[in-house]
Structure 1
Amino acid sequence: MDPVIIVGAGPVGLALALALARQEVPCVVLDEGPGKDEARPARTVVLREDTAALMERLTGVRLAHAGVRWAGWRSMRRKQVMCEIPFGDSEPAPLHIAQHVLTGALRTALAGERLVRIAVDSRLDTIEQEPSGVTAHTRGTTGTWWRGSYLVGCDGPRSTVRKLQDIRFPGRTAVERHAVAALRTELPWHDEALLHRVPPWRTSGPSAGEITARPLPDGVWRLDWLLPPGKELVTPELLLTRVRETLAGWTDGPTPPYELLDTGVHTVHHRLARRWRADRVFLAGDAAHLLGALGTHGLDEGLRDVDNLAWKLALAWHHGPHDALLDSYQTERRAIVASRLRAADQALPLVRGGGGLRSYVPGSARGHDVLLMDGHLGRGALGAPGTYADSPLAPGRLEGEVAVGTVPGSAVTDVRVTAEDGTFVRLRSRLGRGALLVVLIAPGTGVWERRHWVSAGIMPRLAAAVSALPHPAELLVAESYPGAAAHTVLLVRPDGHLVTALSGVRPADLYAAAEAVVGGTPTAGAGAEDGSGESAGDGTRAGARADARAGSR
């Protein structure tokens, strides 16, 4: 079968290529550049816990050594500290890393990947679709035709893929503008990120009123100044003045020594593509959505697009078209990004406006600081990872379903589990392989060798039920899981989201949930009858067959 064509070699496109290759799907990445990235210290990304873990799983690199995990967060207003948060086990620290370092780690991982080809100096100009595949033409020194099974546009805000598919990209332009500088200096907050609103100095004329400082390795900091509305020209002189007055203000004295490494202007747009799928063509990352006001970071959502799409494309590539499964990518991901955009648009007038609640509600300034903090730290409506509770892949009500500490559709907690070979691993390390995960909660198993309990109790029946599932699944055992009683069985998607939790071994329920989460039967066989005369799409009958098989072993 033809490879998947990925247009764009930024972090999203490279991550998608790695994610597909890990599931034995060949890819061609069309890179319109020379195959390497310019070092820009002022162009950085903040990764939350889930996306940082995804990048480390794909690259095999501990990215904390290439970036900085914040030791803490503080919010200030004028001279007053409004909030301080230390990061630890209960509050995972975001990871701040230069974008060229992240893409470099992805390129290094791809260099040894036999299933991925990166075609440099390849600018897309034509896409042709047909029922059996897609053909793309590129111009440049290696201009040619490329044949693929599917094509994914990861080619940024000005996506050629989106334009060739005539997909609208409505939204708002220049929601916020920031002046940005990367510099090496010493600040009073070692490895702590800072949001400073309404700083007490006003020596440079109209003040931005909000400054963010984020640490990077080797004593480097990225500083962002929110610019006032309008088209104020950010001249080198103006930026140097902001740097000097900010450093002097934070250190309560003359401007401390600093080395200016890089500068820029970051403009935030809010846009959402009308469609994320056009038959065999998909959009991901900035090609599908733009967001980033109030401290949110768009790359997080682009990487979550990758995590959601990769296993679905891999399943369709290996087993034939699954339209319901492929359609769920747009349904799940677009709904979450739309919700984030709505939350930001609703909060913007309150946080940035001159009046609003501030004029009428005591303490509203503190509420605004909390909103901004949520955006920066990936919490609340502005920043928290979304859930797929209303997904079309969610199974209907199951008789044996029970509640645990994770709501169905949400990302599972990264507990320690015992793998099939008897080794202890983290649950998150088993994700991204294309298989479903079935996790049995069995207190006490962690202190015994696997050979003592693998054939005891309910394990043989559960193992039989797992082997009868309609999609490959890995059986894992955990001593505990938040909110789960002993003998609870969790079914987890390949991207780490909980499908359901069942009380004990219930083969029919487990089969029905597994069949639902992979979109039912392949498109070509939808509604067809199997050899027994039963409809393969009937989850009840299929589950009953699984129950019978499991009971006979």
Structure 2
Amino acid sequence: MTAHHDPTHVSVLIVGAGPVGVTAALLLARRGVRTVVLERHHDVYPLPRAVAADDEVRRILQAAGVQEEFAAIARPARGLRLLDARHRVLAEFPRTAQGAHGFPQTSMFDQPELERILRRALARAPECDLRGGVEVVAVEQTDDGPVRVTYRDDAGEHLVRADAVLGCDGANSLTRDAIGAVWEDLRFEERWTVVDVRTSLPVRCWEGVEQICDPRQPATFMRVGDDRYRWEFRLENGPEPDDERLRELIAPWVDRTRPADFEVLRQARYTFRARVADRWRLGRVFLLGDAAHLTPPFIGQGLCAGLRDACNLTWKLARVLRQGGDERLLDTYESERKPHVRHVIRLAVAMGWAMTGGQDSAAAIRRGVLGTVLRTPGLGTAAARDFSPALAAGPLVRRRTHGAGRRLVGRHCPQPWVTAHGHRTRLDDLLGSSFAIVTAPPPSPTVQAIANALGARTLHTTGLGDDGRLTTWLREGRADAVILRPDRVVMDVVPSGGRDFTATAAWAPLLRSARTPLPSRRTTPAGPLRSPAP
């Protein structure tokens, strides 16, 4: 981590050094973008908060360069169960040990441990400068100049100008206020008590997350580590539970009548809310994570959503700042992420209703309907797939009128283990951090020209040592080849059967400008990138 004294101008300034802000800095660093990260605290927040990550998020951590370290602290989980008041199973949402992204579909972890891993990686990155113990007091976006950020430390006030600012400063975001964004309330608000425990006592545990769907006493339980557990209880009225009341609450899982180690690491009351900011961007100022959206924790997607924000935005921002991408490319951040966030929040709210039924006059009816729905065969498997649906059609997601490739566009490419130069590696580590083209037949001249213009690596699926997984994926999607974005979402396809690109793609003018050439392995055609006719 470099130490320079209050430069007057930086490429990207990040407000907040939580997991979202630091991950964004690491992803930008891997694309050569320098960042300054400003954080109120000198060290990571020591108490546990987020505890779950899905396989897509583990793939993002892989892209940030911390996957191996994260794997050492992660514990795979079997999924989610909904139980009734007598702890009988209402529904099960299974998560597999190997998801499409190449990792367990659900992993439990301790957030302070993750944050320490991210901070160590940040310290190794010369492109990143973390300044702790500072307070950001103003973020000002001018019409025709850099963003002005004022912060205060022990030495006084400082002004930094930045080409872009990422507001990763949480639910009480100053950055959100600075761009004039306000909350849209999605009508869920409940007060819950969260209890984190370390114990050597035997705990009755399913090795997944359990949601108790009891409107009188809804609860959540999960095992976080070898001897770490979390309970969450809705306790609307009265004081925080004392030791005797806590003993009663956790009795279905653990018997505390015997003397043994039982350490309460944290007991805190939280208000779970469902909210989305009405705008996520003003000029070159962006909102990420809890600054942009709040979700109840019932499906474990709060932190996951913030890391998806970082993954979606950083490659686009790097493209604009370093490779001549069109400014309109940045508009796709909110248009792609906000629908997904709304989808996830609705799932979380639905899970909350399943647990509590709500508290209004329609609660009993809603509980009855949800109880019937939850017993629908196959619902659990479908819901497990639905945490990350395909992106809707847009400038960077080209939907074709015919059926070929429609199942692939807007979705992530799977990540199998592959063999390259005699070594086994994950697909993304082979492809690198930019665009890629994965093709079954030899690439046509058109496809090769696009690869050259994008600076994309072309990967032939033959002989990869992946048991034909990518070839099968392309064949089932009725595609000969796919163009992968840096976040590994399929941007466009070459339909199977010898058909090729026949028109200018909407993504072409966004990804490069005529004034700044893209790096490529061959000569890049002059002028804006287009999909040439075959």
TM-score range, shorter chain: 0.7 to 0.9
AA at the equivalent of 2:394 = S
Separation of aligned partners in 2, 1:360 and 1:57: 42
The reply on whether 1:181 has 2:195 as its aligned counterpart is yes
Q: Relative contact order (alpha carbons < 8 A, sep ≥ 6): 1 or 2 greater?
A: 2
- Structure 2 CA distance for partners of 1:252 and 1:484, relative to 1, 3 Å: same
Superposed, 1:103-502 pairs within 5 Å as 103-130=115-142, 131-142=144-155, 143-171=157-185, 175-185=189-199, 186-189=202-205, 191-198=207-214, 209-228=217-236, 232-235=237-240, 238-251=241-254, 254=257, 257=260, 258-292=262-296, 294-320=298-324, 322-342=326-346, 344=348, 352-353=357-358, 356=362, 359=365, 364-365=370-371, 367-368=373-374, 379=384, 384-395=387-398, 397=400, 402-403=404-405, 406-417=407-418, 424-430=424-430, 433=433, 435-441=434-440, 458=442, 461=445, 464-469=448-453, 471-478=454-461, 479-481=468-470, 482-485=472-475, 488-502=480-494
- Structure 2 CA distance for partners of 1:378 and 1:368, relative to 1, 3 Å: closer
Separation of aligned partners in 1, 2:415 and 2:168: 29
Separation of aligned partners in 1, 2:70 and 2:331: 33
Equivalence for 1:452: none
Separation of aligned partners in 1, 2:272 and 2:413: 31
The reply on whether 1:19 has 2:27 as its aligned counterpart is yes
Of the three residues 98, 115, 118, the one matched with 1:89 is 98
Q: Provide structure 1 residue ranges, at least 5 long, that are not aligned to the other structure.
A: 199-206, 443-457, 526-533, 548-553
How far 1:326 moved relative to its partner?
A: 0.5
Equivalence for 1:519: 510
The number of residue pairs the alignment matches comes to 495
Separation of aligned partners in 1, 2:280 and 2:333: 8
Deviation track 1:451-487 (CA, whole Å, cap 9, x = no partner) reads xxxxxxx358577435433x21011132333442298
Deviation track 1:185-238 (CA, whole Å, cap 9, x = no partner) reads 32122633322333xxxxxxxx8522221112231101111234xxx2442xx2
Of the three residues 46, 53, 68, the one matched with 2:52 is 46
AA at the equivalent of 2:532 = G
Q: Once superposed, what is the RMSD of the aligned Cα atoms? A: 3.6
Residue aligned with 1:53, SS: helix
TM-score (norm 1): 0.79
Residue aligned with 2:270, SS: strand
Equivalence for 2:4: none
- Structure 2 CA distance for partners of 1:504 and 1:197, relative to 1, 3 Å: closer
How far 1:368 moved relative to its partner?
A: 4.9
Separation of aligned partners in 1, 2:190 and 2:367: 25
Separation of aligned partners in 2, 1:124 and 1:173: 31
- Structure 2 CA distance for partners of 1:79 and 1:520, relative to 1, 3 Å: closer
Separation of aligned partners in 1, 2:452 and 2:217: 61
Deviation track 1:111-162 (CA, whole Å, cap 9, x = no partner) reads 1100000111221122333424222111122531112111111111111111
How far 1:280 moved relative to its partner?
A: 1.1
Deviation track 1:409-459 (CA, whole Å, cap 9, x = no partner) reads 11222234465x6755333435771x11100136xxxxxxxxxxxxxxx35
Q: Provide structure 2 residue ranges, at least 5 long, that are not aligned to the other structure.
A: 1-8, 462-467, 517-524
Contact 2:37 2:130 in 1 (8 A): yes
Residue aligned with 2:40, SS: coil
Residue aligned with 1:95, SS: strand
How far 1:21 moved relative to its partner?
A: 0.2
Equivalence for 2:532: 543
Deviation track 1:357-404 (CA, whole Å, cap 9, x = no partner) reads 855997742535889x979x97366xx1142222232336388x7237
- Structure 2 CA distance for partners of 1:3 and 1:187, relative to 1, 3 Å: same
Contact 2:437 2:482 in 1 (8 A): yes
AA at the equivalent of 2:474 = A
Q: Could you say which structure has the higher helix fraction?
A: 1
- Structure 2 CA distance for partners of 1:46 and 1:173, relative to 1, 3 Å: same
- Structure 2 CA distance for partners of 1:334 and 1:430, relative to 1, 3 Å: farther
- Structure 2 CA distance for partners of 1:304 and 1:498, relative to 1, 3 Å: same
TM-score (norm 2): 0.81
Equivalence for 2:75: 68
Q: Percent identity?
A: 25
